[in-house]
Structure 1
């Protein structure tokens, strides 16, 4: 197999990997094995071909600038290609799992570089290798354009390895020191069965160790989405509906289109709750605060960006229920909630 053929295959595999990683739907709600397995398979092909091309370029003398001593050169090349491939693999996984990093922001230059690394890190090897393959007759293997990206790629690999291992040790020490305080919550998450009994542990006010345990519990159920749908339609369980609304106001759901009819049903439940509260002489208008309509509005905006109007009919049902309340002690609260809903709708009209 010629150098050019190998290089072309590397480029094709890299493009496929970038496309798959870019198009894959990533969310905190679940992970799918297929995209990860395909990415891993593509990386293995990429690694084998990269090692093969490196070997061919070595035999062609493209790396003589590293050292005149052949033994030293071989050691440096082995170490270098390991660092480069480690960097490529890490950058692919960072992008594939980006949405699980709760405290990262693309507005931060460091986070932006990490997020886009799956695109630019492989290029730092592909470009100089392409120059060495197609321009060998021009002694491009001695050029700074070949040396600099490869050296930088190796350095990045070393830094990433040191950074991740340092943080892993720190995380291990932190977990050990706090294990006693986390243990009761983690044990409860592992033992409870009902969705509403552990989903609140995914909320950001808990430590990441706790939220991660809750997400693992959620993802371990292959029918997790069906649980959401079922709970949202259970008007007899206003607690679970409220918890799911809170969850949806924070995290992107994997299947927003499938979620919509069930979400609307839960909003019909809220309209029913309004009527039930008003019919109970022992309640007051402030009890309507427990419906957490703000969470409903935030969830709509989170799950349906650009298509919020599709949920307006369900919102109108809640508004109608609020308007139908005739009790004077409810008036100020119903007016407040109606105003909140109408202002929300105006943002998207």
Structure 2
């Protein structure tokens, strides 16, 4: 998980809160050094900090949520897996000669239930991000994911996927290796699997790169995650020839969890700790684990036929709307 004693990386809208918290720490330290009782003042300031935190994080714009989703200290797939699982063994390779570090997966136990867990993996710093290709999986990554999911289906283990990518790798080599075919194959095969599949957007869910491991009966999103057909920057560059219009594009794209829940695209919103998942990764993992265990219990009670039909109907209904014709 993220190291708590590192110097915090502050987003613009977090700075007023950080300044208030720094002031509280300074007053507390001065009071201890001088033997002065300022407990009443400290309580008032802490109450104000709690209120300010709630005000900030309850009224975030889509572009601010996007910043949170991309926060370098936001918990990653491996962070969540290691915090939630009782046992965990990573599996490498697609058995075609490639092991993609941008997509990780393996076998583990969640609340004593054997499961296969897999997801996109971003880096924690620049060097790590380059090694992980910024979480943008190559065709080998999606083939490794499918290998793991077929293993899960063969042995009756539920599948948990964690989505956190700006999109699939769009390089020339990726196209040569069959990026489109690899993602399309995963989409088709995931609809046919018998075991429960729960997909969770833990950070940034972008384009076909997200969909390549995103077909399941239940699609969950962490509260401050985003899920979109294209990044707001790409959308703005296409529509207005100006990536600076990204905030306007983010608003129009309906990328936030509340918007997508209202549209019926996602099924559940997983609440994050006050201040976002990066402020308390262990608490964020506990909240996600509770949601996954509860949802998994509900899906395990269904037959494979019911799960496949649930999966099919879920995606058939996306984009359906009713048009009211004036009398």
The answer, yes or no, to whether TM exceeds 0.5 is no
More strand by share: 2
TM-score with structure 2 setting the length: 0.27
More helix by share: 1
TM-score with structure 1 setting the length: 0.26
